[in-house]
């Protein structure tokens, strides 16, 4: 039996306070423990965790703890450091606690991560204070470290899972044991889509999982206003993401090639992002003879992503696995329709009023969807698209929903503590 809570984002469950009245006259401290977080080497890694933390700071005192394991090669190349430090450039205190990585992926490695988290917690406790609640992002390694900290210091723990697919955490028996421990000991477990929640419960059916989608920065991702229409120029398609096999870019290039062979010429494709598949995808585009129609933009910062989302007519996300698909929401916030695959998260994000869903790993399905836009067989209203994402995943909807989870978690934790005494 599935224990899912999937009420619409922004609509708190009954009995959950969301106006902060549980904490009159004070702002409770919330510690974000991040498995992924932006740094100098990877400025976009876990950017959604940073953006959520910044939003939460409107209602809570927020600090971020980033334990990490540094590989020897990065240390030798001086592309990473092992010194503990506090950063404030994001507007939040970010406590970084690196440690050397030994035997990556083993329990020894995770134990070193957990020890780094404990050191960082003691450090922030002295300078910032003890948190009322720990919110960990991703069960391994952050969630596992968080529940250990919570038990030691008497602090409730919320874990949000983002990983795509969840099975990436289950490769060995020790990992499965750590995941099961973290999920069973957390006070609340969240997933960013119903599909991910079901993956978690396939692994452990005893865990109650609530669905709280990612926040979409609708105040930042906004429509450009009146612009030149596609009737006076080629139709613009855009795809943004990590250039990896999981994102399905190869199928999109194949679709572009087939469209070209079918005689469709009034369109162009821009691909934003970087990754291990960058060179092979560029070579594939040449082999398919679509290089002149496809532009590789490279790594894009948030401002550049917004610029290109405003430029495009349709966003395409051909992923093979996706737990949410934040760029879908960002495109919709800019009033743009989307083409996405039924691979987990997109079914939760995309509605019939905001875009088209196709089967993953199927170039012909992408051809049909893209051709429908080229021929004008599908049409979407930009205001309806934006309204949908704003109501379901916008900043205030997200803040209200997550605040409700926090307050219910704290109330339950206090009740259990009183019962125990």
Question: How is 153-198 classified by DSSP, letter by letter?
Answer: HT--EEEEE--SSGGGG-SSHHHHHHHHHHHHH-SEEEESSHHHHH
Which of 365, 375, 305 lies closest to 339, judged by CA? 365
CA dist 333 and 36 (Å) reads 25
Average of per-residue pLDDT across 87-92: 93
pLDDT number for residue 17: 37
Tens of pLDDT, residues 398-417: 999 999 999 999 999 999 88
Q: What are phi and psi of 125, to 5 degrees?
A: -65, -35
CA dist 233 and 227 (Å) reads 12
What letter would DSSP give residue 127?
Answer: H
Instruction: Give whole-number Cα distances, 253 to 159, 235, 277, 300, in Å.
Output: 37, 16, 13, 20
209: Cβ contacts below 8 Å, ≥ 6 apart: 3, 4, 5, 189, 190, 191, 197, 200, 201
Average of per-residue pLDDT across 375-397: 98
pLDDT number for residue 21: 44
Check whether the bond before 362 is cis (ω within 30° of 0): no
Contact between residue 250 and residue 326 where contact means Cβ atoms under 8 Å apart:
no
CA dist 365 and 51 (Å) reads 34
- Beta-carbon-side half-sphere exposure of residue 314 (alpha carbons within 13 Å): 28
CA dist 366 and 253 (Å) reads 10
Which of 161, 165, 68, 76 lies closest to 112, judged by CA? 68
Which of 310, 348, 246 lies closest to 7, judged by CA? 348
Tens of pLDDT, residues 107-140: 888 999 999 999 999 999 999 999 999 999 999 9
Average of per-residue pLDDT across 61-86: 77
pLDDT number for residue 285: 98
pLDDT number for residue 4: 38
CA dist 16 and 286 (Å) reads 55
pLDDT number for residue 12: 35
Q: What is the mean pLDDT of the chain?
A: 91
Environment class of residue 169 by beta-carbon count within 10 Å: exposed (0-12), middle (13-18) or buried (19+)? buried
**pLDDT of residue 364 exceeding 90:** yes
Domains recognised in the chain with CATH numbers:
4-215+395-420 (3.40.50.2000), 230-393 (3.40.50.2000)
Tokens of 253: 């290039």
**pLDDT of residue 80 exceeding 60:** no
For helices 326-333 and 302-311, angle between their N-to-C axes, nearest 10 degrees: 60
**pLDDT of residue 19 exceeding 60:** no
Environment class of residue 95 by beta-carbon count within 10 Å: exposed (0-12), middle (13-18) or buried (19+)? buried
pLDDT number for residue 40: 82
């Amino acid at each position: 039996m599935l224990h899912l809570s999937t009420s619409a984002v922004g609509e708190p469950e009954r009995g959950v306070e969301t106006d902060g009245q549980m904490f009159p006259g004070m702002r409770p401290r919330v510690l974000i423990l991040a498995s992924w977080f932006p740094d100098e080497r990877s400025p976009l890694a876990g950017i959604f965790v940073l953006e959520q933390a910044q939003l939460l700071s409107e209602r809570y005192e927020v600090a971020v703890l980033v334990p990490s394991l540094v590989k020897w090669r990065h240390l030798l190349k001086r592309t990473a450091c092992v010194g503990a430090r506090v950063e404030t450039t994001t507007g939040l205190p970010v406590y970084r606690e690196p440690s050397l990585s030994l035997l990556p992926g083993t329990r020894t490695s995770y134990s070193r991560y957990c020890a780094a988290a404990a050191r960082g917690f003691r450090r922030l406790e002295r300078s910032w204070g003890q948190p009322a609640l720990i919110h960990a992002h991703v069960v391994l390694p952050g969630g596992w470290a968080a529940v250990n900290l919570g038990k030691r210091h008497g602090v409730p723990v919320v874990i949000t899972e983002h990983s795509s697919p969840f099975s990436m955490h289950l490769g060995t028996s020790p990992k499965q044991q750590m995941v099961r421990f973290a999920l069973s000991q957390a006070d609340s477990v969240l997933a960013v889509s119903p599909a991910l929640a079901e993956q978690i419960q396939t692994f452990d059916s005893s865990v109650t999982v609530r669905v709280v989608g990612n926040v979409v920065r609708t105040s930042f991702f906004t429509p450009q206003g009146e612009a030149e229409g596609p009737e006076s120029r080629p139709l613009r398609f855009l795809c943004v993401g990590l250039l990896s096999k999981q994102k399905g870019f190869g199928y999109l290039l194949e679709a572009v090639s087939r469209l070209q062979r079918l005689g469709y010429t009034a369109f162009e494709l821009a691909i934003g992002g970087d990754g291990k598949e960058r060179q092979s995808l560029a070579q594939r585009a040449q082999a398919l003879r679509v290089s002149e129609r496809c532009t590789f933009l490279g790594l894009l910062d948030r401002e550049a992503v917004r610029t290109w989302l405003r430029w495009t007519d349709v966003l395409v996300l051909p992923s093979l696995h996706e737990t949410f698909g934040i760029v879908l929401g960002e495109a919709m916030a800019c009033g743009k329709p989307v083409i996405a695959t039924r691979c987990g998260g997109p079914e939760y994000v995309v509605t019939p009023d905001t875009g088209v869903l196709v089967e993953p790993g199927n170039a012909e399905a992408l051809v049909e969807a893209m051709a429908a836009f080229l021929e004008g067989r599908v049409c979407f209203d930009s205001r309806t698209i934006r309204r949908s994402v704003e109501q379901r995943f916008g900043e205030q909807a997200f803040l209200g929903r997550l605040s409700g989870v926090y307050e219910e978690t704290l109330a339950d934790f206090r009740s259990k503590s009183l019962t125990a005494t």
